[in-house]
């Protein structure tokens, strides 16, 4: 619909140009000369232009009749100028026709030269072949043809550049759409990885604890204390599930990641102590927690940390305890968090059986800790050997985390 409207609008402008110019020149011809042969010749040229436009030109540049229309327009200009030299003004319409109704630039140049030759012959018929008339004809035709070629080539160049820029723009838009699709896919993959880490660090570990407690309850014949502990763990797991569904997963607040009771708020230090208390109740392993001020080395009651850093440190502590429960066979675990002006460091030490980090299979837990720390430019290391326990260390730069949070 739009293409048809544009074509109709273009034809309307050409109607006005061709018919309007021909009408004005007809009036000019009548006013400036009374010689019958000039009136007849000039009028015939103008009439031929209008008729050829109405019968052939309005079919458009892509029509098979376009070359015939250009030939008739050039002939009409020559006949009109042969009748009266002033009708050379007709070139303002015929030269553009030679450009627009040409499939290639080379063809347009040939058609321009044909128009110049036809008009030049018309000048010679109208003015004669005296030397001064030949000079005037040559000057006029050279000037008009040169101007037409210069303007036409410049417009053709601009059109070609516009088409190329349009193609580049379409390619750029296509590339942007592909990048947007890749970003959406990458975002979806990152969200799946994040959710997998959250599920592993929270729900999966809690369910593992529930399984161990259920086995313990079976061995003890349904000890009320163990059953109460199962209920507490189940409530905390439910709270963690709700936190994940809410997509918040904060350290503090109701339904927090370690089962904070509704209405209670804990910072990182309080969350670590609660995590240690629960781990001791579930496994019987002693867990000592120390939160230190790195500048003085003194115990710190609270650590003012960015929320993202608190979540990363807490999740790493949870995973370290989960690994110790599964593999270490430890009797004591020490968890320490030390803050300095530049970073916060988590250190988890156990007195278990240890392992060889180089030969150990890097399961999802250690891999998940590395991924979490990589998101905040953190560093993770494991120091262990068979028979001497293990030390897991995670360090997060505070300046990088604060800059990312501000961004």
CATH code at 355? 3.30.565.10
Lowest mean pLDDT among 50-54, 95-99, 282-286: 282-286
Q: How far is CA 76 from the centre of its chain?
A: 56
- Please compute the mean of the pLDDT values over residues 276-292 and round it to a whole number: 85
- Please compute the mean of the pLDDT values over residues 39-59 and round it to a whole number: 91
* Residues above pLDDT 70, as percent of the chain: 72
As a whole number, the mean pLDDT across the chain is 78
In a domain, 169, yes or no: no
Question: Residue 240 has what pLDDT?
Answer: 63
For residue 324, the enclosing domain spans: 185-406
Q: Of 86 and 405, which is predicted with more confidence?
A: 86
Total count of domains within the chain: 2
pTM: 0.46
Lowest mean pLDDT among 66-75, 152-161, 291-300: 291-300
- Computed from CA positions of residues 104, 13, 57, 50, in that sequence, does the dihedral angle turn out positive or negative? negative
Lowest mean pLDDT among 161-165, 205-209, 282-286, 378-382: 205-209
250 and 399 in a single domain? The answer is: yes
In a domain, 249, yes or no: yes
- Please compute the mean of the pLDDT values over residues 55-64 and round it to a whole number: 88
For residues 332 and 327, what is the distance between their CA atoms, to the nearest angstrom? 13
- Please compute the mean of the pLDDT values over residues 118-140 and round it to a whole number: 86
Question: Residue 387 has what pLDDT?
Answer: 84
Q: Of 108, 128, 148, which residue sits at a domain end?
A: 128
In a domain, 285, yes or no: yes
In a domain, 153, yes or no: no
Contact status, residue 193 vs residue 371, Cβ threshold 8 Å: yes
306 burial level (CB within 10 Å; 0-12, 13-18, 19+): middle
In a domain, 170, yes or no: no
380 and 260 in a single domain? The answer is: yes
């Amino acid at each position: 619909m739009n293409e048809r409207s544009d074509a109709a609008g273009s034809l309307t402008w050409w109607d006005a140009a061709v018919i309007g110019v021909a009408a004005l020149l007809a009036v000019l011809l009548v006013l400036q000369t009374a010689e019958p042969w000039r009136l007849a010749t000039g009028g015939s040229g103008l009439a031929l232009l209008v008729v050829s436009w109405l019968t052939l030109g309005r079919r458009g540049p892509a029509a098979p009749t376009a070359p015939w229309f250009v030939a008739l327009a050039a002939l009409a200009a020559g006949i009109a100028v042969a009748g009266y030299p002033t009708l050379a003004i007709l070139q303002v319409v015929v030269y553009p026709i030679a450009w627009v109704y040409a499939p290639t630039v080379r063809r347009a140049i040939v058609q321009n030269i044909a128009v110049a030759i036809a008009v030049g012959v018309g000048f010679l018929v109208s003015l004669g072949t005296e030397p001064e008339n030949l000079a005037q004809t040559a000057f006029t035709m050279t000037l008009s043809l040169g101007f037409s070629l210069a303007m036409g080539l410049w417009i053709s160049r601009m059109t070609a550049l516009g088409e190329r820029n349009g193609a580049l723009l379409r390619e750029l838009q296509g590339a942007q759409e592909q990048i947007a699709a890749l970003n959406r896919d990458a975002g979806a993959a990152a969200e799946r990885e994040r959710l997998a880490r959250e599920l592993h660090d929270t729900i999966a570990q809690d369910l593992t604890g529930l399984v161990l407690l259920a086995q313990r309850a079976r061995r003890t014949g349904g000890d009320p204390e163990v059953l109460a502990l199962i209920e507490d763990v189940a409530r905390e797991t439910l709270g963690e599930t709700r936190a994940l569904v809410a997509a918040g997963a904060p350290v503090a607040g109701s339904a927090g990641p370690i089962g904070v009771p509704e209405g209670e708020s804990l910072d990182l230090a309080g969350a670590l102590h609660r995590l240690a208390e629960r781990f001791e109740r579930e496994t019987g392993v002693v867990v000592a927690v120390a939160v230190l001020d790195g500048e003085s080395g003194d115990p710190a009651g609270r650590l003012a940390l960015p929320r993202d850093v608190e979540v990363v440190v807490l999740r790493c502590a949870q995973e370290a305890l989960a690994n110790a429960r599964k593999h270490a066979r430890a009797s004591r675990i020490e968890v320490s968090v030390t803050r300095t002006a530049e970073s916060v460091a988590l250190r988890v030490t156990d007195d278990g059986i240890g392992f060889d980090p180089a030969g150990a299979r890097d399961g999802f837990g250690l891999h998940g800790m590395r991924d979490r720390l990589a998101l905040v430019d953190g560093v993770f290391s494991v120091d262990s050997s068979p028979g001497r326990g293990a030390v897991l260390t995670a360090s997060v730069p505070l300046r990088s985390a604060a800059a990312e949070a501000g961004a």
